[in-house]
Structure 1
Amino acid sequence: MATTKWSLDPTHSEIGFKIKHLMISNVSGNFNKFDVQVETNGDNFENANVTANIDVASINTNNEQRDAHLRNADFFEVEKHPEITFTSTKVERVDDDTFNLYGNLIIKETTKPVKLSVEYSGVAKDPWGNVKAGFTINGKINRKDFGINYNAVLETGGVMLGEELKVNGEIQLVKQAELQPA
């Protein structure tokens, strides 16, 4: 069967996150620069190989001071660790439109296995003849597993930041080419 390559459509994709702040609300952010590449057997995503690279310096929480703090040594150390990477290890079908995507996530040179829930939205052809596939991705990671330990104790005895980070994405891929086996 032919191997199909899919590339990210960055104008129709986003990767974001939420974290508890003061343990009473969530702060949201996203990464403005990232890339996702996928290889499938034909148009079947059930055995997909997925790689993603995120430019950590592109973090955006709509607050320049906070974003600068997230880039420094208290959090991501962007100068030493400019990229977050994900490489899939397994895709597991849950039902017709839902998959579990397992893989290795690397943040600050620490590699941990993660499981993401993926909702497959289907394939469509755009007005210019490009074949596109859409996905919604959700998951949770513990930031301390990756050496992101910064926090502050509050007067009330609580902490400023939660440990759990909720990740989410809307990913649209563009079919690039089908490569026939030799």
Structure 2
Amino acid sequence: MKKLLLGLTAALVFSGANAADYKIDTKGAHASINFKIQHLGYSWLTGRFNDFSGTFSYDENNPGASDIRVSIDTASVDTNHAERDKHLRGDDFLDVEKYPEAKFVSTDIKTMADGNMKVMGDFTLHGVTKPITIEAKKIGEGEDPWGGYRAGFSGTTKLALKDFGIDYDLGPASQHVMLSLHIEGVKQ
């Protein structure tokens, strides 16, 4: 009986050994939230959000128990063009005075047969919350040169602007925005 209890205790301890909490490393600029959208169907307009923060927990043995929370300062939109950024911050698009924050909260994470992941969650943008799925993959994890431990992931998703109440007409080729996420977290 004693051996059985010791074995169960060890199994519980080691099954949670991979679970860890991370803070997204925005201070060191080791994370980014980028986007692209077709410009009138002729080219790609690219940009990013400069200010965001977040945390995630990750358990390789139980991905469904993992948790991701990200908050984005919508006024930090940056397309490297001041006039366009001013327009994007206005009520035609992000309306940052009324909706200063976009956020993502995961609801489930599934590991696929190829090792990639589907990260499901609720995304709030422009005052509207909708479920989205992010196609993600783990880039790697391990000790860093400063005595910490890091884990990194990348992911993509496609959003229909009209789903989030943004209906400014940029033409039929410009109805969706592609998000590209690169997230590196420092173990807490």
Q: Which of these residues, 20, 28, 37, is aligned with residue 4 of structure 1?
A: 20
Question: In 2, Cα distance between the equivalents of 1:123 and 1:44?
Answer: 14
1:81 is aligned, of 99, 112, 127, to 99
Normalising to structure 2: TM-score of the pair? 0.84
Give, as a single letter, the amino acid of the residue that structure 1 aligns with 2:152: G
TM-score (norm 1): 0.87
| CA distance, structure 1, for counterparts of residue 162 and residue 37 of structure 2 | 13
Give the count of matched residue pairs: 169
Same amino acid, percent of matched pairs: 36
Q: Does 1:30 align with 2:48?
A: yes
CA distance in 2, matches of 1:44, 1:80: 41
Q: Tell me the residue number matched to 2:133.
A: 115
- Give the structure, 1 or 2, with the largest relative contact order (CA under 8 Å, sep 6 or more): 1
Q: Which structure features the higher share of strand residues?
A: 1
Once superposed, which parts of structure 1, at least 4 consecutive aligned residues long, lie more than 3 Å away?
none
Instruction: Give 1:170 deviation, angstroms.
Output: 1.0
Q: Spell out the pairing of 1:1-182 with structure 2 (5 A cutoff).
A: 1=16, 4-10=20-26, 11-41=29-59, 44=61, 46-47=63-64, 48-95=66-113, 97-152=115-170, 159=171, 162-176=174-188
Give the structure with the higher percent helix: 2
Find the aligned partners of 1:44 and 1:62 in 2 and give their Cα distance: 41
Unaligned runs of 5+ in 2: 1-15
Task: Give how far 1:129 is off.
Answer: 1.1
Structure possessing the higher radius of gyration over alpha carbons = 2
Unaligned 5+ residue runs, structure 1? Answer: 153-158, 177-182
Distance 1:121 1:160 in 2: 34
